Amino acid sequence: MLGPCAGGAGFASAMADFIVRVSDSFEGETEPSNRVDLAYDDEETCLAGVRRLLSLLPQNNHEGSRVLPCYDIPTPSEVMRHMAPADGTDLCDVGAIVGELTDDGGYLPMRSHPTHGVIWALARLGGHVVGFVVDQPPLLEGPANAETCDVARRFVEFCDAFGIPLITLIDRSTDAAGTSHQYEDFRHGARLLYAYGKATTPRISLILRWPSADGRLPIVDDRSLGADLTYAWLAGAHAGTWAKPSSSLRATWRGFVDDVIDPAETRDVLIRSLAVLRSKEPTRL
Q: Write out the chain's pLDDT in tens, 285 residues.
A: 887 777 777 777 778 888 888 876 554 444 445 578 888 888 999 999 999 999 999 999 888 889 999 888 888 888 888 887 666 566 677 888 899 999 988 899 886 554 456 788 999 999 999 999 987 655 544 446 777 788 888 899 999 999 999 999 987 654 444 444 555 567 777 888 899 999 999 999 998 876 554 444 456 787 888 899 999 887 544 444 434 445 556 666 567 788 889 899 999 999 999 999 988 877 665
173 and 232 in a single domain? The answer is: yes
149 and 240 in a single domain? The answer is: yes
138 and 235 in a single domain? The answer is: yes
37 and 116 in a single domain? The answer is: no
Question: Has residue 284 been placed in a domain?
Answer: no
Closest CA to 72 of 33, 29, 103, 41: 103
130 and 17 in a single domain? The answer is: no
d(CA 98, CA 106): 9
Q: Is the pTM of this model over 0.85?
A: no
Beta strands in the chain, from DSSP E residues, in sequence order: 20-22, 38-40, 107-110, 118-125, 128-135, 166-171, 203-209, 229-233, 259-261
3-state secondary structure of 229: strand
Q: Helix, strand, coil proportions of the chain in percent (round to 5)?
A: 35, 15, 45
Alpha helices in 141-228 (DSSP H): 146-161, 186-198
Question: Has residue 197 been placed in a domain?
Answer: yes
What residues contact residue 171 under an 8 Å CB cut-off, 6+ apart?
Answer: 85, 92, 94, 134, 135, 136, 137, 208, 209
Question: Has residue 122 been placed in a domain?
Answer: yes
110 and 187 in a single domain? The answer is: yes
Distance of CA 66 to the CA centre of its chain: 20
Alpha helices in 57-141 (DSSP H): 78-83, 94-101
Q: DSSP label at 217?
A: -
102 and 220 in a single domain? The answer is: yes
194 and 251 in a single domain? The answer is: yes
140 and 211 in a single domain? The answer is: yes
Question: Has residue 66 been placed in a domain?
Answer: no
Closest CA to 143 of 169, 118, 160, 163: 118
Question: Has residue 2 been placed in a domain?
Answer: no
49 and 146 in a single domain? The answer is: no
Total domains in the fold of the chain: 2
Range of the structural domain that residue 252 is part of: 78-277
Question: Has residue 212 been placed in a domain?
Answer: yes
